[in-house]
Structure 1
Amino acid sequence: MTPALPSLRIGPHALANHLFVAPMAGVTDRPFRQLCRRMGAGYAVSEMVTSRKDLWHSLKTSRRANHEGEQGPIAVQIAGTDAPMMAEAAAYNIARGAQIIDINMGCPAKKVCSKWAGSALMQDEPLALQIVEAVVAAAAPQGVPVTLKMRTGWCESEKNAVRIARGAEQAGVAMVTVHGRTREQGYKGAAEYATIAAVKAALSIPVVANGDIDSPQKAHEVLALTGADAIMIGRAAQGRPWIFREIAHFLATGQELPAPTVQEASDWLVEHLLEHYSLYGSLTGMRTARKHIGWAVRELPGGEDFRQAMNRLESCEAQIQALQQWFATLGADYERLPYLAKRAAAPTMAATDPDDDDDDPKQQQE
C-alpha cells in the first residue's frame, strides 16, 4: 500500500489522480484516450501535433486535434525546432480547445530527430529553452499552462535532464515528465530512474516518471524510487487499458485487482472500436483497428490465431462480429481474462515498433 499522494494540479486544472496516459503516435487518439480515462487514468496527452503550419489542415492533423466530447483537461503535445513556429502552434491549438500545451522533447524517432526535433533538442540547450520560453509566452496570456516531456539526455555521457528541467521551470513550465532512457537507447535496455529522482529533487513543480511501468508492482516501485508526483504509462496500456484501474487499486490497498471478466473486456473493446470507426471512417478505421484488437488478444489463449484471421477481414461489421464471437467462445471456458504470460517489454503485434510514450511517425503507417 502506497501512502496517499497529495492532490495534483497543472495550472488551474485539478487532476483526477496521478496516473497518466502517455502520448503515442497512432495510438493515443481521442477514442483511446477516452477508453483509458474510463479505465482509471486521470490525465491523457494527445498524439503529437506538428508545428508546421502547412500541415495543420491535413486529415491526419485534424484527427489528432479532434477533442469532441473529450473530458478535460485537454492536453495537446506539439513538436518542432523553431521557437516562433512552436509559439504559433501553441496559440493555434489553444484556439481550438487545448487547455494544456505539452512540448515534445522526448521523441527518439530518427525521422523526428534528423530534423532536430523531439529528443534531438536536448543536444542544443539554448534552442530548447528558447522554444520553452516562446511557448510559455504564447500560452500564458490565455491562462494555459505548458508542460515538458523529455528524456534523461541525448546519450549516456550527456544526461542533461536536470539542467534542462531547471531552465524550463525558470521559464514557467508547470510540469516536467521524464522518460528514463536516453535518445541513444531508443527503447532498448531498461529504463533507469535515478535521473528522474534527480530531476524531482531539483524542481519545485510536479515531476512525472515514465518508462517500463507495466504492472501495479512496478508503478509502486517507480514512485518509491523517484519520489515522482505521478507516473505516465504508454506501451503497457496498449490492449490492456484497464491497467490504470489495476494500479490505482494496488496503490490504494496493496492488493491485486482480479483480471476483468471476459464479458467486460469484450464490451469495453467493442465500445472502443465503435468510437474508433466513428473518428476514422469505415475503411481507415477498419485497418487501424487491427493493431488495437491484436494488442488486446495477444496474451490470451488462441489470440495469435484469432489476430491472423481477423487481419483478413475487410469490414468494421465483420471485425465486431468476429471479436464478439471469439470472446464468447473464450467466455465459455473462462470467467476472467486468462493471461498466458507476463506482459512483454514491448508489444509485438503492430506493423511497426510502437512507442512507449513518444511520437513516432512510423506509427502512422498501417
Structure 2
Amino acid sequence: MSSFTLGRHTLRQPLILAPMVGVSDLPFREICLQQGATLTVAEMVTSNPELWHSEKNRLRLKRSSTCGPDIVQIAGFDPQMMADAARINADQGAEVIDINMGCPAKKVLKKAAGSALLKDPALVERILLAVTAAVDVPVTLKIRTGWCRDNRNGLDIARIAEDCGIAMLSVHGRTRECRFLGDAEYDTIAEIKQRVCIPVIANGDIDSPRKARYVLDHTQADGLMIGRAAQGSPWIFRQIRQYLDTGSVCDKPSTQDICNLMLDHIRALHAFYGDFRGALFARKHIGWYSKDLPSGESLKQQFMQLEDARSQLDLLTAYLNAGIGNQPDTNAWPMSVPRPTDNRRPQVIAR
C-alpha cells in the first residue's frame, strides 16, 4: 500500500471524508474520525474574509483538537484574495489549505469559482501559484475530471497543480456538467495518477468496501475520498479499512450501536449549533440514519415533526429503550411512542 506525507503527518492509503456543505461540519467530522476516517476536510468557505463573521461561516471555521490535521477548504476566483484567505487560515492554525475547484453548485459557478475554474487553466495556475507562495503549510486541490464530457481536461489541470507545488490532488470522477448524475468514471483518474508524481485521491461513488478495492485497483490512487456514502453510515470508513487490510467485510454495526452513535451525534449537533438550529440540522442526519434502522421510517416521520432539542432527544431515547433491535417485526415500534407535547421553539441565544 502507498504512503505519503502531508505536512507533519504520514498517511498510509488514507480514507478521507469529503468536504460537503451543510454536512461535514465539526460534529460529523468527529464522528467520522471515530469511525475510521484518516482525514476530514471542513466545509468550503468563501475566500472573502469579510464574510467570515456570519454565524454560518464562523462555525465552518471552528476548529477541534480531535480533527487534525486541520484542513480548511477555500473557494474563490481572485488569486490575491485566495492567497490572503489561505494566509489568514494558516496563521489561525490550519495545517492544510485545500482549494475547491470541484464544486458544481450554481451559486458557486455564478461567481466563477469551484469547477468553473476548470475552463480557465491560466487562472488556475495564477491561483495555485499565489496560494502556495502565501503559506508554509501544504496546499491541496480538489477538482473534477473536467468542465464537460467533451472537455475532460483533468490531466492538464493536474500537471499545472504539480508544477505549482500542490501537495495532494483529489479528483471526483465526474465533470461539472455531470454534477452528481450518472456513474463516476475512473479512467481519467487512472490517467492522472500515471502522469503526475504527487499523491492522487480518487473520489466518486465509493459506497462499499468492494467498490473501494475496485477503485484503488483501477486507478492506483494513493487514497480514497468518500462523501455521500458516509451520510448516515459513517462506519463505512472502518468497513473499508478492514476490507483493504484483511480482505474480510465486517458486519454493519448492531442496531444498539447505531442508536448510541446516532444519539451522540444528535447531542453534538445540539451543542454545536444551539438547541433550535441544532434541531434543524439533526433532521437531515436522522433521515439518513433511519434507513439502516428497524422501523426507521416511523422514527423519521416522528422526528421530522419535532422542533426542539429536548423533544428530539426524548424521542430517540424512547426508541432506544424500546429494544427495537430485538424485535423481529420491523414495523413493531408504534407511531404513538410517548414524547413531550410542548414543542415550542426555545429562545435563540446568540453565541
1:270 lines up with 2:302 in the alignment: no
Contact 1:41–1:244 (Cα < 8 Å) also in 2: yes
* Residues 146-155 or 311-320, more deviating: 311-320
Q: 1:323 offset after TM fit, Å?
A: 1.6
State the partner residue of 1:53: 49
State the partner residue of 2:341: none
1:247 lines up with 2:243 in the alignment: no
State the partner residue of 1:154: 147
State the partner residue of 2:252: 259
* Aligned-partner residue type, residue 217 of structure 2: A
Contact 2:216–2:223 (Cα < 8 Å) also in 1: yes
1:331 lines up with 2:317 in the alignment: no
State the partner residue of 1:344: none
How large is the Cα RMSD of the aligned pairs? Answer: 1.5
Q: 1:316 offset after TM fit, Å?
A: 1.1
State the partner residue of 2:4: 8
The within-5 A match list for 1:309-320 is 309-320=302-313
Q: 1:131 offset after TM fit, Å?
A: 0.6
How many pairs were matched up?
A: 329
Q: 1:263 offset after TM fit, Å?
A: 1.5
1:179 lines up with 2:172 in the alignment: yes
Q: Return the alpha-carbon distance in structure 2 between the equivalents of residues 277 and 65 of structure 1.
A: 18
State the partner residue of 2:315: 322
The within-5 A match list for 1:111-126 is 111-126=107-122
1:167 lines up with 2:160 in the alignment: yes
Q: Return the alpha-carbon distance in structure 2 between the equivalents of residues 325 and 225 of structure 1.
A: 46
State the partner residue of 1:105: 101
Q: Return the alpha-carbon distance in structure 2 between the equivalents of residues 61 and 45 of structure 1.
A: 15
State the partner residue of 1:35: 31
SS of the equivalent of 1:200 reads helix
How much identity, in percent, do the aligned residues show? Answer: 50
State the partner residue of 2:335: none
Q: 1:53 offset after TM fit, Å?
A: 2.2
Which of 186, 198, 201 is 1:205 aligned to? 198
Give the structure-1-normalised TM-score: 0.87
Q: Return the alpha-carbon distance in structure 1 between the equivalents of residues 12 and 195 of structure 2.
A: 25
Structure 1 outlier segments of 4+, above 6 Å = none
State the partner residue of 1:355: none
Gaps of 5+ in 2: 331-351
Q: Return the alpha-carbon distance in structure 1 between the equivalents of residues 259 and 11 of structure 2.
A: 29
Q: 1:299 offset after TM fit, Å?
A: 3.8
State the partner residue of 1:190: 183
The within-5 A match list for 1:19-34 is 19-34=15-30
Q: Return the alpha-carbon distance in structure 1 between the equivalents of residues 119 and 278 of structure 2.
A: 38
The within-5 A match list for 1:220-231 is 220-231=213-224
SS of the equivalent of 1:325 reads helix
Q: 1:93 offset after TM fit, Å?
A: 1.0
The within-5 A match list for 1:127-142 is 127-140=123-136
Contact 2:13–2:222 (Cα < 8 Å) also in 1: no
Give the structure-2-normalised TM-score: 0.91
Q: Return the alpha-carbon distance in structure 1 between the equivalents of residues 300 and 116 of structure 2.
A: 36
Contact 1:30–1:70 (Cα < 8 Å) also in 2: no
State the partner residue of 1:74: 70
Q: 1:91 offset after TM fit, Å?
A: 0.9
Which of 89, 93, 97 is 1:93 aligned to? 89
Gaps of 5+ in 1: 338-366
Please identify the structure whose Cα radius of gyration is greater.
2
* Aligned-partner residue type, residue 143 of structure 2: M
Q: 1:17 offset after TM fit, Å?
A: 5.2
Q: 1:68 offset after TM fit, Å?
A: 2.8
1:44 lines up with 2:29 in the alignment: no
* Aligned-partner residue type, residue 113 of structure 2: A
Of structures 1 and 2, the one with the larger relative CO (CA 8 A, separation 6+) is 1
1:234 lines up with 2:234 in the alignment: no
